[in-house]
Amino acid sequence: MSGKNGNNRLRAREPLTDTQLLMYISVGIFVVMYAAAALTLKGGFLKPQMIFDLLNDNAALIIISCALTIVMIGGGINISVGGVIGLTVMSCALFLNNNHIESSALSILVTLLLALGIGLGFGLLQGFLVAHLEIQPFIVTLAGMFLARGLTTILSVNPVKVAHEGFQELVKTKLKISWLGYTAQNGNLIPAKIEIGAIVAVAVVIVMFLILRYTRLGRNVYAVGGNRQSALMLGINVKSTVFWSYVISGLLSGLAGFVFLMHKPAGNASVAMRSEMDAIASSIIGGTLLTGGVGNVIGTFFGSMILATIQKIIALSPLNASWWQEMASGAMLSFFILLQSLVLMRKNRSKRKAKQKAAAKTAEEKPSGTGGGTA
């Protein structure tokens, strides 16, 4: 009787769960890699601006990685996030160029609502199909990706640049922190610049962390992802939990599209192409399991920072041909994934050994009682 339940309960009481361990590994890898880059490549890595640049350039990636994390913890997957970004960027760019709203603040607000609306629409549709019609999430979201990409090309095959003045000002708006800045060669102090998108991304990470940890929905998502059957028996409304996780995921992808537009104000059919794979990689490197029930948004954040840093290191290194860059980033990715897996296996093995020892002890003490069961 105490097989699986007992194990889970034990694991929860132990000081370091797998989720936390994987998260610490990814944080550690990020710190080590960044330090190594700072020591060997010098250049920009010594300036705080580099970290802000990583955030600025990858704000949308961080947001969609969070969008994936919540779905993956619930045991599903969402590969439509990149497509939704593409569709959102394209439709927002077209809307900004063609609308006739006089106030520019109002038109930006309407654009934001449009972005969120597109994301929400995809989230609601996919959530309904996955949760209530019980279709495999991979097919549903793959169809969602096809739909979003196809709609993007139906809207416009040619690139669309945002000509809206108010929005261009918004793009240029940056938070400047002078004490984190650096002195340029001509003696001017250049303050550190943080884009609005980066702030939004960090806010999303914090909000998602709080939702997953402290709200009923968040805890239900973990329960459903860990074991659907037990969650059902505990009285959790599995369908609505899955549904809302997809809705949140869709909403976040819409937001990511808007953030992307704030970073690069132009719509294009190939915007954020294949970014869903980067987002999945960030979540997994950050310690989320595709099988569900395990994961953490903070880890995801560091996972996407690791990916971003790998790309930055390779871009700054002497290997400049694009195919060398891809091969090197593949090699680094496999190194970190292997490292993570080895640490996890080592930990599990020592845990198993400890358990076997304990079992052997109890068996010695009570030879009649607990013989098997720990293999």
Partner 1 sequence: MKKKNNASGGLGQLLIPLVALGILIVFNLFRDIGFFSIVMRVNNSGNIVLTGNLVSIIDSASELAIIAMGMTLVTAACGGQDISVGAVGAISGAVFVKVLQGMGGITPTSVIVGFLLCCLATILFKLFNGTLVAVFRIQPMIATLILYSCARSIAYWINGDATPQLNSPIISSIGMTIPGIPIPTPIFAVILVGLLLFLIFRFTSLGIYTQSVGINEGAARLNGINPTRIKLISFILLGVCVSVAALIGVCRLGQLNHKTLLVDIEMDAILAVAIGGNSLGGGKFKLIGSILGAYIIQMLTTTLYAMNVAPVNVKAYKAIVIIIIVVAGSPVVKSFLTNLWRRVRAPSAPSGPRKEGVS
1 binds partner 1 (CB under 8 A): no
What is the smallest separation between the CB atom of 77 and partner 1, expressed in angstroms? 8
Give which of 44, 122, 137 is closest to 83, Cα–Cα.
122
Query: Which token pair is 92?
Result: 């927002």
324 binds partner 1 (CB under 8 A): yes
Stretch that binds partner 1, among 16-24, 33-41, 258-266, 289-297 (CB under 8 A): 289-297
Q: Which residue has the tokens 């001509």?
A: 186
327 binds partner 1 (CB under 8 A): yes
Among 59, 108, 281, 305, binds partner 1 (CB under 8 A): 281
What is the smallest separation between the CB atom of 373 and partner 1, expressed in angstroms? 13
In the complex with partner 1, the residue whose CB is nearer, 215 or 374, is 374
315 binds partner 1 (CB under 8 A): no
DSSP assignment, residue 367?
Answer: T
Among 66, 289, 306, 313, binds partner 1 (CB under 8 A): 289
What is the smallest separation between the CB atom of 22 and partner 1, expressed in angstroms? 12
Q: Which residues contact 319 (CB under 8 A, 6 or more apart)?
A: 325, 328
In the complex with partner 1, the residue whose CB is nearer, 196 or 273, is 273
Three-class DSSP category at 176: strand
What is the smallest separation between the CB atom of 258 and partner 1, expressed in angstroms? 22
In the complex with partner 1, the residue whose CB is nearer, 6 or 150, is 150
| Residues that contact partner 1, how many (by CB under 8 A) | 45
Give which of 217, 208, 228, 96 is closest to 160, Cα–Cα.
96
Contact 303, 26 (CB under 8 A): yes
Sites for partner 1 among residues 211-270 (CB under 8 A): 269
In the complex with partner 1, the residue whose CB is nearer, 204 or 289, is 289
Q: How far apart are CA 114 and CA 134, in angstroms?
A: 29
Q: Which residues contact 157 (CB under 8 A, 6 or more apart)?
A: 269
Q: Which residues contact 335 (CB under 8 A, 6 or more apart)?
A: none
Three-class DSSP category at 106: helix
Q: Is 271 left (phi over 0), alpha (psi -120 to 50) or beta?
A: beta
- Mark 298-326 as b/e (b = at least 16 C-beta within 10 Å): bbbbbbbbbbbbbbbbbebeeeeeeeebe
Sites for partner 1 among residues 122-161 (CB under 8 A): 129, 132-136, 138-140, 142-147, 149-151, 153-154, 157
In the complex with partner 1, the residue whose CB is nearer, 322 or 368, is 322
Residues near partner 1 (CB under 8 A)? 129, 132-136, 138-140, 142-147, 149-151, 153-154, 157, 269, 277, 280-281, 284-285, 289-291, 322-324, 326-327, 329-331, 333-334, 337-338, 341-342, 345
